[in-house]
Structure 1
Amino acid sequence: MDNSLFQFAIYDESKAERTGYSNYSYWRSTVQVFMKNKVAVFLLFLMIAVLAFTMIQPYLPGQKSPTKIHIDEATNMQLRNHPPDSKFWFGTNSIGQDLWSRIWSGTRTSLLIGFFVGLWEAIIGIIVGALWGYVRRLESIITEIYNVLNNIPTTIVLILLTYIMKPSVFTMIFAMCMTGWLNMARFVRNLIVIIRDREYNLASRCLGTPTNRIITKNLLPYLVSVIMLRMALAIPAAIGYEVFLTYIGLGLPVSIPSLGNLINEGRRVMGVPSLRYQLIFPAVVLSIITISFYVIGNVFADASDPRNHV
């Protein structure tokens, strides 16, 4: 063996202080991957514009009240089914109300319902699902509660609650929140069961790490992508339930504009070609919202997966 190939390592304090460095940032990488999808970026800016416009629309000059009934000056009667023109951009409905104002007022109402239901589903679903999947002592209790609630059809719960309670925005939100968290809780529980017994979790448990810290630091970060997808889909799903309940006559009263009310009103006159604009305009707004949330949620879920980061 050639001794010249070897030499003694000399301790160097300056080299000992050197550490590896990486400028990797999870959220920055997530945004970079998301921004590469031009369709999702376009829909994101479109949704931001729609949300901003729905908030400021009532304060813009020349806007009409969504509940005011306009009178035809020539006949002194309700300005019914007036076609779109420069004064009424989206026309009027069957009792002379401005559709432009009603559509944006209805969009605010539907988005309010969707955001509250989606937020409730995310918070309660994640908390219950995490405890259900990780704390073994609670598994049997939560399973029984889930089985009882899940065996009752969601549609039946929604219909009964909206039928018993006074029709209002709060009633719609309460009815959807009663069972809306079940799917999220089951979803989170199934994912946590898969990763709860991995080596780093067992090591944290042996070191005495509190349960809440293991859940928030070790488990939930691995589920960010799928949780964000479920949250994004919860909003259009809540809006869809609102449209369905209004369609069967158990939704919001006519005095409270919503996309469900507008689509239900337009459905009644869709057989008349000249009045189909009353269905087309709210249906287009609803389609833009639901499709945008669906695409943005899917793309963001892919972008938040660390395996797609460079």
Structure 2
Amino acid sequence: MAAAVSSPAPTPVNFILRLVSRKTVLIGILALFAVAFVAILAPVLAPYAPNKLSVVNRLKPPSATFWFGTDEFGRDVFSRTIYAGRLSLLVGISVVTFAAIFGIALGLVAGFFKRLDTPIARIIDAMMAFPDILLAIALVAALGPSLLTVIVALGIVYTPRLARIVRASTLVIRELPYVEAARALGVPTWRIMTRHVLRNLVSPILVQGTFIFAYAMLAEAGLSFLGLGVSPEIPTWGTMIAAGRQYIGQADWMTLFPGIAIVVSVLSLQMVGDGFRDLLDPRLRKDL
């Protein structure tokens, strides 16, 4: 009787090919790369300085000179929009990093050590009982508005989301035979947690990380819209929309283009996250 041959593990190239085989995921990746490319090269692509005032050109409609028009101070909306993308990407990356460091640590400790599970789980549930934006507003109001405060506040808000997923997966993995075998062989606890448990949590962490990235960018825009974000002189999509609402009847481009930038960025991240989830989840992989 011939021995059964197991299928080889997918290579990174095969993983990428299967990921982009879905049109929605491919569109999301291209849109995300376009936003990141334009934001990173903003000093090169921007025709004007983002805070350059020109009162004689105030509220000019989109034209060959000002592609996205100008605002109430004559500042170029196109330049401010692409510069604002840099801050949104910075906030998103920083929040994901913050949530990953503390969320993974809390989730692993709660799921692996039974004595610490109940208190950590109750803290996670209590934090998730508050709406995200309200908790972020309370934290920013208590710490004072600044870029660092926004990152820390949103990191605290989204850490429980990741910690809860890591904890739930760790509760299952710690009871599997290979973990029990490692314990029986005297493998140190930290090595079991990192080598045998954490390595099997990459998929849910990666998927949740893309969603947290999108939520963080949207929350930062909301805080800036409410005046609780970074300093007003720093261009952000939220502050641009907040300033444009006063001129919505005569200069709708002031809110239109920053709003489109938010929608494209968040929607592309959501599409990429859905693609990762469908590919990495065995129950949904057949749909790819």
Same fold? TM cut 0.5: yes
Deviations 1:30-56 (A, max 9, x none): 223212113212321221122112111
Larger mean Cα displacement after TM superposition, 207-216 or 136-145: 136-145
2:154 corresponds in structure 1 to 176
2:108·2:193 contact (CA, 8 Å) conserved in 1?
yes
2:165·2:204 contact (CA, 8 Å) conserved in 1?
no
> Among residues 126, 129, 138, which one is paired with 2:104 in the alignment?
126
> Among residues 18, 32, 42, which one is paired with 1:57 in the alignment?
42
Distance 1:262 1:71 in 2: 17
1:122-271 mapped onto 2 (5 Å cutoff):
122-147=100-125, 149-150=127-128, 154-270=132-248
TM-score by length of 1: 0.82
Report the secondary structure of 2:41's partner residue: helix
1:106·1:258 contact (CA, 8 Å) conserved in 2?
yes
Deviations 1:198-233 (A, max 9, x none): 222212211112223322333334333222111001
4+ aligned runs moved over 4 Å, structure 1: 20-23, 147-154
For structure 2, which runs of at least 5 residues remain unmatched after alignment?
none
Which structure has the larger Rg?
1
1:70 corresponds in structure 2 to 54
Report the secondary structure of 1:54's partner residue: helix
TM-score by length of 2: 0.88
In the alignment, residue 228 of structure 1 is paired with which amino acid?
L
- Residue 29 (structure 1) shift: 3.9
Distance 1:162 1:179 in 2: 11
2:9 corresponds in structure 1 to 24
Distance 2:259 2:181 in 1: 54
1:6 corresponds in structure 2 to none
In the alignment, residue 54 of structure 2 is paired with which amino acid?
H
1:293 corresponds in structure 2 to 269
> Among residues 2, 26, 29, which one is paired with 1:44 in the alignment?
29
1:82·1:96 contact (CA, 8 Å) conserved in 2?
yes
- Residue 103 (structure 1) shift: 0.5
Distance 1:109 1:186 in 2: 28
1:236·1:290 contact (CA, 8 Å) conserved in 2?
yes
1:302 corresponds in structure 2 to 278
1:276 corresponds in structure 2 to 252
2:94 corresponds in structure 1 to 116
Distance 1:192 1:161 in 2: 30
1:243·1:259 contact (CA, 8 Å) conserved in 2?
yes
Distance 1:34 1:150 in 2: 31
For structure 1, which runs of at least 5 residues remain unmatched after alignment?
1-19, 73-78
In the alignment, residue 213 of structure 1 is paired with which amino acid?
R
1:225·1:302 contact (CA, 8 Å) conserved in 2?
no
In the alignment, residue 51 of structure 2 is paired with which amino acid?
T
Deviations 1:39-80 (A, max 9, x none): 2123212211221121112124x72111111142xxxxxx22
* Percentage of matched positions with identical amino acids: 30
Structure 1 residues 298 and 306: alpha-carbon distance in aligned structure 2, compared to 1, 3 A threshold: same
Distance 1:119 1:105 in 2: 22
1:57·1:63 contact (CA, 8 Å) conserved in 2?
no
Distance 1:46 1:220 in 2: 31
Structure 1 residues 243 and 49: alpha-carbon distance in aligned structure 2, compared to 1, 3 A threshold: closer
Structure 1 residues 24 and 52: alpha-carbon distance in aligned structure 2, compared to 1, 3 A threshold: same
1:184·1:230 contact (CA, 8 Å) conserved in 2?
yes
Larger mean Cα displacement after TM superposition, 171-180 or 115-124: 171-180
1:30·1:304 contact (CA, 8 Å) conserved in 2?
no
- Residue 157 (structure 1) shift: 3.7
